[in-house]
Amino acid sequence: MKKLAVRDLGHMAYGEALGIQDQANRSRYDEEITDTLFFVEHPPVITLGRSTGEDDILLSVEERNRLGVEVHRISRGGLATYHGPGQLVGYPIVHLYEKAVQIKRFITSLEQMFVDMLGELYDVEARLDPENRGVWVGNRKITAVGIAVRNRVTMHGFAFNVTTDLSHFDWIVPCGIRDRGVTSLEECTGRTVDLADVRDQITCAFRETFGYTG
């Protein structure tokens, strides 16, 4: 039986959640825990992937300090990403076992999971983009995806804009893309959606997509 543990970290600072991911990655590699999906909602924070510099941050240091916005450089691929209230962040700690090429299939399956879920549950027509990672509604990104692999175990994950304040994306060049926008589930549906309900929906979709039976 392929089992998945699900843990809701609630509201948590990015650095603290990253420490939990680090420990879980080691524990999963050592077979001390099963595959685990962490959910969390962060206070405003900007993360920088391996491929970007601080030029993609449009806020001055003074503005960041005034607004209390943290900046973290992390090990995932990709460029600048914003996390904040109203955004449901998921960190899958999944042992791939096989060669690292499996990560491409994992990421594509994760993105397609959101496309299917948005269509089936919310009548939102989303799509994948062959040139840019993430999940898109028209030319606006609704879910960012950035995965790293350490010891054949995944880290980092996805950020799904549910009721996110989209003006906060003006603080960065999202994923290095200057000619497209961002959107949220609230904006697409015209109604407020409860994060707890969305978390449950993603959990069900993740179990089904990746074949978990427990």
Active site residue 204: no
CA distances from 2 to 25, 147, 214 (A): 18, 21, 6
pLDDT digits (tens, 9 = 90+) for 126-169: 999 988 889 999 999 999 998 989 989 999 999 999 999 999 99
Antiparallel, parallel or unpaired: β 140-150 and 181-182: parallel
The torsion angles phi and psi of 14, rounded to 5 degrees, stand at -60, -45
Q: What would the two tokens of residue 204 be? A: 């069900």
83/63 Cα distance (integer angstroms): 17
pLDDT in tens, 174-209: 655 566 789 999 999 999 999 999 999 999 999 999
Which pair of tokens denotes residue 42? 């962060």
Q: Mind giving me the DSSP string for 126-168?
A: -B--SSS-SEEETTEEEEEEEEEEETTEEEEEEEEESS--GGG
Q: Pick the catalytic residue: 175, 182, 188, 195? A: 175
Phi–psi pair at 127, nearest 5 degrees? -155, 165
- Answer CATH for 4-210 from 1.20.81.30, 3.40.50.300, 3.30.930.10, 1.10.3720.10: 3.30.930.10
Residue 178 CB neighbours (<10 A):
7
Q: How far is CA 27 from CA 21, 149, 178, 188, in A?
A: 10, 14, 39, 39
Confidence tier at 55 by pLDDT (50, 70, 90)? confident
Q: What digits encode the pLDDT tens for the residues 12-41?
A: 999 999 999 999 999 999 999 999 999 999
**Secondary structure (3-state) at 38:** strand
Instruction: Give residue limits of the domains in the chain.
Output: 4-210
